[in-house]
């Protein structure tokens, strides 16, 4: 998700920046924005545990929200020429995770696509990639679609086992919503885009509100005793435990969806018909396998093993860590990385070379914690 930021460019601020600073947010540069990594009185560990047990509230307004409409056709037809997902078959009120692909099948970014109606899609892309993504979409399908960037809207993520209980106070419709469903609704005269998904492995919601209403609405949510503001530090440890990719780390423009263990994003129709960038390469990987594969890695001991640490079996280098940290829910270090496909089976023992010292690790199935999405 992170990308290069011009050193002399001022950091951008979300509509909630004044609230973060007034509530003790420790602000750090992230994807060109000044964002809270944690809050005074909590810290990453407590914020992580709170989200797993109650309801955490994240400011994700730095993400790129945009409406994609078709000039003379369903915009999903055009979008399918640059993503491998089934967007045409997406029903109104449903959303889908997919990836933008380059000509070599590498992942330009991962994104969420929501169907509003036959002529309208909502796309949400990563913060550090949004300028690049929107330019790419314009270049590739701009003659068939219109992209409207929603820079006037904030985005909140309410995550955790009590998220539904809290959200239903403001939006009773959430009680009938399921994972990867979305609605447009009203609250206090403001149009709200509400979706049920998240980046933590927990049940939860993304709530898109006008910038001018963001602070007032956030304060209302924080009046509920289950809700606390959560920073980027816990967001990262939560998504890592959930086995979810971070763009620029676990996936990038050199990794295909097959390398990244994301072949499920390519449904049967798209595998058979193709019509997306890198199809020939990806079809070969689907049929014959790939050379590397993203896997879960569980280090022994208590110390985390970080990104870029090399992995070995004996004297042979077999992979590298792409994300690593401490998992509070599993009470130990967790990591993800790429290894040679011929050693990618869960249970395989390997060593992480940390400052010249071998740290025993084991390849494990993802996720590290069971997800709690409401699918039924």
How much is the average pLDDT of 111-116?
Answer: 98
Question: What are the tens digits of pLDDT across the range 297-343?
Answer: 999 999 999 999 999 999 999 999 999 999 999 999 999 999 999 99
Q: Give the pLDDT confidence score for residue 4 in this predicted structure.
A: 39
What tokens appear for 163 in the block?
């998220």
Task: State the SS3 of 341-368.
Answer: HHHCCCCCEEEEEECCEEEEEEEECCCC
Q: Give the pLDDT confidence score for residue 361 in this predicted structure.
A: 98
Report the Cα 125 to chain-centroid distance in Å.
9
| Count helices and strands in the chain by DSSP H and E runs | 9, 19
Q: Quote the pTM value.
A: 0.95
Same domain, 52 and 132: yes
Same domain, 180 and 281: yes
Residue 1 in this model has a pLDDT that exceeds 90: no
Same domain, 158 and 204: yes
Give dist(CA 186, CA 209) in Å, integer. 10
* Whole-Å CA distances, 257 to 153, 286, 321: 30, 10, 18
How much is the average pLDDT of 211-227?
Answer: 98
Same domain, 328 and 354: yes
The terminus-to-terminus CA distance of the chain in angstroms comes to: 31
* Contacts of 234 by beta carbon, 8 Å cutoff, 6+ apart: 38, 44, 45, 47, 48, 51, 56
Q: What angle do CA 178, 181, 185 make, to 5 degrees?
A: 110
Total domains in the chain come to 2
Q: Is residue 375 part of a domain?
A: no
User: Which among 238, 270, 288 is the end of a domain?
Assistant: 288
User: Which among 232, 253, 288 is the end of a domain?
Assistant: 288
Residue 364 in this model has a pLDDT that exceeds 90: yes
Same domain, 216 and 357: no
Q: Is residue 267 part of a domain?
A: yes
Smallest CA-to-CA distance from 318 within 290, 347, 339 is with 339
Q: Give the pLDDT confidence score for residue 7 in this predicted structure.
A: 54
Same domain, 223 and 316: no
Q: Residue 348 belongs to a domain with what CATH number?
A: 2.40.30.110
How much is the average pLDDT of 3-17?
Answer: 76
Q: Residue 278 belongs to a domain with what CATH number?
A: 3.30.1360.120
Element (H, E) at 138: helix 130-141
Q: Is residue 376 part of a domain?
A: no
Report the Cα 97 to chain-centroid distance in Å.
9
Element (H, E) at 190: strand 190-195
User: Which among 272, 288, 304 is the end of a domain?
Assistant: 288
Same domain, 197 and 298: no
Same domain, 281 and 303: no
Give dist(CA 266, CA 85) in Å, integer. 5
- Number of Cβ within 10 Å of residue 362's Cβ equals 14
Same domain, 155 and 263: yes
How much is the average pLDDT of 69-97?
Answer: 97
- Number of Cβ within 10 Å of residue 248's Cβ equals 18
Give dist(CA 48, CA 53) in Å, integer. 9
Q: Is residue 52 part of a domain?
A: yes
Same domain, 173 and 311: no
Q: Is residue 371 part of a domain?
A: no
Same domain, 330 and 213: no
Judge contact between 59 and 154, C-beta under 8 A. Answer: yes
What tokens appear for 118 in the block?
């036959």
What tokens appear for 161 in the block?
């086992």
How much is the average pLDDT of 280-305?
Answer: 97
- Number of Cβ within 10 Å of residue 356's Cβ equals 5
Portion of the chain with pLDDT greater than 70, in percent: 98
Smallest CA-to-CA distance from 318 within 335, 304, 337 is with 337
Q: Is residue 316 part of a domain?
A: yes
Q: Which domain holds residue 175?
A: 1-288
Q: Is residue 372 part of a domain?
A: no
Give dist(CA 80, CA 83) in Å, integer. 5
> What angle in degrees, to the nearest 10, is found between the helix axes of 43-53 and 232-241?
50
Give dist(CA 26, CA 35) in Å, integer. 8
Q: Give the pLDDT confidence score for residue 8 in this predicted structure.
A: 64
How much is the average pLDDT of 16-21?
Answer: 98
Mean pLDDT over the full length of the chain: 96
Q: Is residue 341 part of a domain?
A: yes
Same domain, 278 and 296: no
Rg of the chain taking only CA atoms, in angstroms: 21
**DSSP code, position 251:** B
- Number of Cβ within 10 Å of residue 125's Cβ equals 26
Q: Give the pLDDT confidence score for residue 330 in this predicted structure.
A: 96
Kindly indicate the confidence band of residue 376, based on its pLDDT and cuts at 50, 70 and 90. confident
């Amino acid at each position: 998700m992170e990308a290069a930021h011009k050193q002399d460019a001022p950091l951008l601020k979300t509509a909630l920046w004044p609230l973060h600073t007034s509530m003790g947010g420790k602000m750090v540069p992230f994807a060109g924005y000044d964002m809270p990594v944690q809050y005074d009185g909590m810290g990453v560990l407590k914020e992580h545990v709170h989200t797993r047990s109650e309801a955490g509230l994240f400011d994700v307004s730095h993400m790129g929200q945009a409406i994609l409409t078709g000039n003379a056709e369903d915009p999903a037809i055009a979008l399918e020429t640059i993503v491998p997902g089934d967007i045409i078959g997406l029903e109104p009120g449903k959303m889908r995770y997919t990836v933008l692909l380059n000509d070599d099948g590498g992942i330009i970014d991962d994104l969420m696509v929501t169907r509003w109606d036959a002529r309208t899609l909502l796309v949400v892309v990563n913060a550090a990639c949004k300028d690049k993504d929107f330019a790419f979409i314009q270049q590739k399908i701009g003659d068939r679609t219109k992209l409207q960037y929603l820079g006037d809207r904030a985005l909140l993520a309410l995550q955790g086992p009590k998220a539904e209980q809290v959200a239903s106070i403001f939006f009773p419709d959430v009680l009938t919503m399921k994972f990867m469903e979305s609605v447009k609704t009203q609250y206090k005269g403001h149009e709200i885009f509400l979706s049920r998904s998240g980046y933590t492995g927990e049940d939860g919601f993304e709530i898109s509100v006008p910038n001018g209403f963001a602070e007032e609405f956030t304060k209302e949510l924080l009046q509920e005793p289950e809700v606390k503001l959560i920073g980027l530090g816990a967001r990262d440890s939560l998504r890592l435990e959930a086995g979810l990719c971070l763009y620029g780390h676990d996936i990038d423009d050199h990794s295909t969806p097959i390398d990244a263990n994301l072949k499920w994003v390519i449904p049967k129709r798209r595998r058979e018909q193709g019509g997306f960038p890198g199809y020939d390469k990806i079809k070969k990987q689907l049929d014959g396998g790939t050379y590397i594969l993203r896997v879960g890695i569980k280090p022994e001991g208590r110390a985390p093993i970080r990104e870029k640490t090399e992995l070995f079996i004996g004297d042979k280098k077999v992979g590298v860590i792409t994300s690593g940290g401490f998992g509070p829910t599993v009470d130990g270090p967790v990591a993800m990385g790429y290894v040679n496909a011929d050693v990618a089976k869960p249970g395989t023992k390997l060593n992480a070379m940390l400052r010249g010292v071998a740290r025993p690790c084991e390849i494990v199935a993802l996720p590290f914690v069971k997800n709690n999405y409401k699918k039924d």
